[in-house]
Structure 1
Amino acid sequence: MRGFFYWRFMSQRLHELLEPIINDLGYELWHLESVGAGRSRVLRVYIDSPAGIALEDCEAVSHEVSAALDVEDEGNGQYQLEVSSPGLDRPLVTGEHFRRFIGERARVNMFAPVAGQRKFRGTILAVNGDMVDLGCDDQTYSLATGDMAKARLDPVFEE
């Protein structure tokens, strides 16, 4: 049960464990990400807040999350924990993530081609459940969040 499906299972389990802890501290659990394997595995926890995220916020959450993970894993886990803000080019995973940023630009990579392509870059037009309408040039594509390999905001910086 290793690989993609194992991570989906573990991600849900970790989300259920960590979300209440992070919420109690006054933050939102935005996203979880696991990179690498074995001793070089990194568990990234992205947190958000209406007031933004500072280094002190990350430290507070890291302390509590680390303690919870040590108890849950009985100290057997081999990973490095990183807690950070999702940033300007934040990952978008759920329909709610996309809904918050209607009118903003996003980059989306799909697992399988949609209308002959896997990579999309456009404006988030609408969200219905977990279906996202993305306007790319003169086309609108309806993309399912569950079929997305990766999606991020694509901020435009004015000069």
Structure 2
Amino acid sequence: MPLELPGEIRSLLENACSKQHATLIDAILRGTKERMILELFVDTPEGISLEQCENINRDLLKQSETNAFLDAIRSIEVSSPGVDRPLTHWWQYPRNIGRVLEFTFLNEEIHKHGSYTLLEADEHGIVCRDSKQSKKSGNENTTFSFPYSEIQKAIVKISFN
């Protein structure tokens, strides 16, 4: 079960990320109070680099010298969110154009939950094609537009074709 991450520590983490022009996607504090492990998932519009992750880690280790909470953490792990984590920012969508995403919408009466191929993405929303429907009907031109405000969750589906 994740431990509670104090708000002031979250701000400190976000600041360390912003120094590397990165965004903190998620922070998970796990383990026990005696053996805490902090996992940071960070990203940029271009994709996070190993060097940026290392620099964030070094910055936090340096800050642990003067911050009792950070000093109590046994391990800090900084990485990209990976394909199994939901997309949380609009700028994560363009680099997934052409991939199939599993969507959950806030209102299923308006948009049906399911797998859609991402065709376009910008700061306003996305354009997708329902892969299953287009295969059944033979109509590859049926597209749907969704503003981000209607998307509850979107995860890239891993394909082994």
TM-score, normalized by the shorter chain, greater than 0.5: yes
Separation in 2 of the partners of 1:151 and 1:14? 28
1:145 shift after superposition: 2.4
Separation in 2 of the partners of 1:75 and 1:101? 40
Q: Residue 93 of structure 2 aligns to a residue in which SS?
A: helix
Q: Residue 97 of structure 2 aligns to a residue in which SS?
A: coil
Please give the residue correspondences for 1:1-159 in structure 2 after superposition, counting only pairs within 5 Å.
17-23=15-21, 29=22, 31-35=24-28, 43-47=39-43, 53-54=49-50, 58-67=53-62, 74-76=67-69, 81-89=76-84, 91-113=86-108, 115=110, 117=112, 119-137=113-131, 138=134, 139-158=142-161
1:59 shift after superposition: 4.2
Quick one: structure 1 residues 60 and 13, their matched pair in 2 at CA, closer, same or farther if it must change by over 3 Å?
A: closer
Task: Report the TM-score, using the length of structure 2 for normalisation.
Answer: 0.58
Separation in 1 of the partners of 2:149 and 2:11? 17
1:108 shift after superposition: 2.2
Quick one: structure 1 residues 64 and 132, their matched pair in 2 at CA, closer, same or farther if it must change by over 3 Å?
A: same
Larger fraction in helix: 1
Task: Report the TM-score, using the length of structure 1 for normalisation.
Answer: 0.58
1:47 shift after superposition: 4.0
Identify the residue that residue 26 of structure 1 maps to in structure 2.
none
Alignment length, in residue pairs? 141
1:131 shift after superposition: 0.9
Structure 2 gaps, min length 5: 135-141
User: Contact between 1:48 and 1:85, CA under 8 Å: does it hold in 2?
Assistant: no
